[in-house]
């Protein structure tokens, strides 16, 4: 049974939040009774957590200041022993300028800002009803990768329609190298601003960065839809550069948004980081399904692209709305409260020791580096193979169950995205191996690179000299399944473990380091994938 100790007059307002009330209503400095002996006895003999509330609802009854000032050692002992001190009433404590001018943190300043709502949350910890917060984090995971997925899915729209010779009447290299230009325009600002966002607070706190990040992406997609509806046949060069500039702006905003989301979710329990990773894999699956259906339903590449961009627009608007709904949820407020308490406690410790409040970035990075490396290496291996190598593997059997026209769509895009989604889902239920041993299976995933190269990989315009040793479609399919599941599962684990490598007040920063490592792995994997055609064209060996 929890005991709530209430100090001061008019503290009856807090009685309905405790199971048993021990009330002391004496309020002047000469007569205040602090119950120190009783507190120590209950803590020592009964093993109880003590909840001490100070009344603060009437201006002429301000006596909290001297209680905390005179009994600061006792209050600090309560905090260190899992106790909680609450202020009853509805109005903030009005403190003298001399007291507030000491520069002490909020915890010492009579716990200014604590509300009965916060007290009720701690006495009755809420749960994530209907997994609402979990679903919102999945939605933000979808929104994180939706811009990139939609642009690469609309390849036919850009290459075979807007920049084609048939549409423009002229031959340009814009269409030939479009995906290479797109990758650099998208990933360079993304990786740059992901890392800068860790150290430089663009636009203020996480809320401001997330809101503006989503808003800018929405504006870019509106402009992209307008461009899709506009006849640009007379100005293909201008269209190309407008597209590249919009992609740069889009991914700059997306980099800040993505990094900030991982910083935000790091304050929540571990499984919610897994929910974001799950959302990123759902995003890929969702895009692959839209791509598959568009081949049947859309009359042309232009119409299909408009569908893609409008879909991304609605997803981002949903992310925008649900983010503002988070503070309404009691479970989210409770997690924010616990996170803030950890920060306040460490600030108070640092204040008593004369330490500064600057973030120790190097210390945080060293502590979370093992998981940052795991995240980086998982995505490096995955993006080295998917989609560049994966999509250029062709069927070895002309009578295989999947027709040649849909072989790449099914065996590459659908297979990888669905299996990665399954892997992320498993990580929400089972976390194995532990943080210490995760590096072992992550490092072993490097074997997927030679395995894929030994399949029937035929990059366009390249004469393959490396013999095909895996020429069975079912074996290739099995390799693809394990690659996708391991990518989704281990990436979820590493991102879930990353914030847990540091103290609670540094979790958001560690989450940002993890997100930046993720983008770095994607970028370097894309760069390394360009080496794969060179390898199969210049390496040859015979198995005896």
Q: What CATH number is given to the structural domain containing 188?
A: 1.20.1250.20
Model confidence at 5: pLDDT above 50: no
Q: What CATH number is given to the structural domain containing 479?
A: 1.20.1250
Q: Is the dihedral of CA 471, 472, 478, 484 positive or negative?
A: positive
Which residue has better confidence, 92 or 265? 265
Q: What is the pLDDT of residues 134-192, one digit of tens each?
A: 999 999 999 998 888 888 778 778 988 999 889 988 887 888 778 778 888 888 998 99
Domain presence at residue 100: no
* Long-range CB contacts for residues 219-222, cutoff 8 Å, separation at least 24: 220/147, 220/246, 220/249, 220/250, 220/253, 221/147, 221/250, 221/309, 221/310, 221/312, 221/313, 221/316, 222/313
CA distance linking residue 480 with residue 457, whole number of Å: 13
Percent of the chain's residues with pLDDT above 90: 46
Mean of pLDDT over the chain:
80
Domain final residue pick, 336, 370, 398: 336
Quick one: pLDDT at residue 109?
41
CB 48 within 8 A of CB 14: no
Q: What is the pLDDT of residues 330-386, one digit of tens each?
A: 999 998 888 887 777 777 766 666 565 678 999 999 999 999 999 999 999 999 999
Domain presence at residue 45: yes
Let me know whether 465 and 316 are in one domain: no
Q: What is the pLDDT of residues 380-426, one digit of tens each?
A: 999 999 988 998 999 999 999 999 888 988 999 889 989 999 999 99
CB 166 within 8 A of CB 237: no
Q: What is the pLDDT of residues 204-261, one digit of tens each?
A: 678 889 999 999 999 999 999 999 999 999 999 999 999 999 999 999 999 999 989 9
Let me know whether 371 and 298 are in one domain: no
Quick one: pLDDT at residue 469?
95
Domain presence at residue 186: yes
Percent of the chain's residues with pLDDT above 70: 75
Lowest mean pLDDT across 113-127, 134-148, 408-422, 530-544: 113-127
Domain presence at residue 318: yes
Interval 273-286 mean pLDDT: 90
Let me know whether 128 and 277 are in one domain: yes
Domain presence at residue 344: no
Let me know whether 76 and 155 are in one domain: no
Let me know whether 371 and 512 are in one domain: yes
Model confidence at 281: pLDDT above 90: no
DSSP 3-state of 190: helix
Let me know whether 205 and 307 are in one domain: yes
Let me know whether 324 and 375 are in one domain: no
Number of domains composing the chain: 3
Let me know whether 85 and 142 are in one domain: no
Model confidence at 61: pLDDT above 50: no
Which range has the top average pLDDT, 114-123, 149-158, 447-456?
447-456
Let me know whether 302 and 246 are in one domain: yes
Let me know whether 310 and 436 are in one domain: no
Quick one: pLDDT at residue 314?
94
pTM: 0.70
Quick one: pLDDT at residue 400?
95
Domain presence at residue 352: no
Domain final residue pick, 89, 106, 129: 89
Let me know whether 213 and 283 are in one domain: yes
Domain presence at residue 138: yes
Q: Which residues pair with 5 in a beta bridge?
A: 22, 52
Let me know whether 323 and 392 are in one domain: no
Lowest mean pLDDT across 111-120, 162-171, 511-520, 533-542: 111-120
Domain presence at residue 98: no
User: How many CB atoms are closer than 10 A to CB 397?
Assistant: 12
Q: List alpha helices for 326-447, DSSP H.
A: 330-352, 361-385, 388-391, 407-408, 415-429, 439-444
Q: In which domain, by residue range, is 46 found?
A: 8-12+19-89
Model confidence at 487: pLDDT above 80: yes
CA distance linking residue 468 with residue 513, whole number of Å: 40
């Amino acid at each position: 049974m929890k005991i709530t100790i209430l100090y001061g007059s008019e503290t009856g307002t807090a009685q309905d939040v405790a199971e048993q009330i021990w009330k002391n209503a004496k309020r002047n400095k000469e007569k205040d009774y602090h119950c120190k002996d009783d507190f120590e006895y209950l803590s020592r003999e009964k093993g109880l957590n003590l909840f001490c509330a100070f009344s603060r609802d009437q201006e002429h009854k301000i006596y909290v200041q001297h209680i905390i000032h005179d009994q600061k050692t006792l209050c600090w002992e309560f905090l260190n022993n899992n106790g909680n001190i609450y202020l009853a009433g509805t109005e903030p404590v009005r403190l003298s300028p001399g007291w507030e001018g000491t520069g002490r943190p909020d915890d010492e300043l009579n716990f200014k800002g604590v509300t009965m709502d916060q007290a009720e949350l701690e006495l009755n910890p809420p749960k994530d009803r209907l997994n609402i917060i979990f679903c919102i984090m999945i939605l933000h995971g979808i929104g994180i990768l939706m811009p990139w997925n939609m642009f690469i899915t609309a390849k036919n729209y850009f290459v075979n329609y807007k920049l084609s010779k048939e549409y423009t009447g002229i031959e340009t290299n814009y269409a030939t190298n479009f995906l290479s230009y797109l990758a650099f325009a998208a990933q360079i600002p993304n990786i740059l601003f992901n890392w800068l966002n860790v150290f430089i607070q663009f636009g203020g706190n996480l809320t401001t960065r997330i809101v503006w990040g989503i808003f800018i992406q929405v504006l870019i997609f509106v402009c992209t839809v307008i461009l899709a509806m506009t006849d640009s046949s007379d100005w293909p060069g201008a269209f190309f550069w407008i597209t590249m500039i919009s992609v740069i702006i889009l991914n700059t905003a997306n980099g800040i948004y993505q990094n900030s989301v991982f910083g935000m979710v790091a304050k929540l329990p571990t499984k919610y980081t897994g929910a974001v990773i799950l959302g990123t894999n759902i995003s890929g699956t969702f895009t692959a399904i839209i791509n598959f259906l568009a081949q049947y339903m859309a009359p042309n590449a232009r119409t299909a692209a408009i569908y893609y961009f409008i879909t991304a627009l609605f997803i981002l608007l949903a992310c925008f709305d649900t983010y503002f709904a988070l503070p309404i949820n009691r479970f989210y407020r409770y997690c924010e409260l616990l996170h803030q308490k950890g920060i306040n406690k460490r600030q108070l410790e640092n204040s008593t020791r004369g330490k500064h409040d600057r973030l120790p970035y190097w210390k945080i990075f060293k502590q979370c580096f093992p998981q940052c490396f795991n995240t980086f290496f998982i995505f490096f291996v995955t993006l080295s193979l998917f989609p560049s190598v994966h999509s250029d593997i062709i069927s070895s059997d002309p009578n295989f169950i999947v027709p040649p026209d849909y072989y790449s769509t099914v065996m590459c895009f659908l297979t990888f995205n669905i299996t990665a989604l399954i892997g992320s889902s498993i990580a929400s239920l089972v976390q194995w191996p532990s943080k210490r041993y995760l590096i072992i299976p992550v490092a072993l995933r490097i074997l997927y690179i030679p395995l894929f190269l030994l399949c029937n990989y035929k990059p366009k315009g390249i004469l393959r000299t490396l013999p095909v040793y895996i020429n069975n479609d079912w074996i290739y399919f099995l390799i693809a399944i394990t690659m996708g599941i391991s990518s989704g599962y281990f990436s979820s684990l590493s991102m879930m473990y990353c914030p847990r490598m540091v103290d609670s007040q540094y979790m958001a920063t560690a989450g940002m380091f993890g997100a930046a490592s993720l983008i770095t792995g994607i970028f370097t994997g894309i760069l390394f994938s360009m080496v794969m055609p060179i390898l199969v064209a210049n390496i040859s060996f015979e198995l005896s």
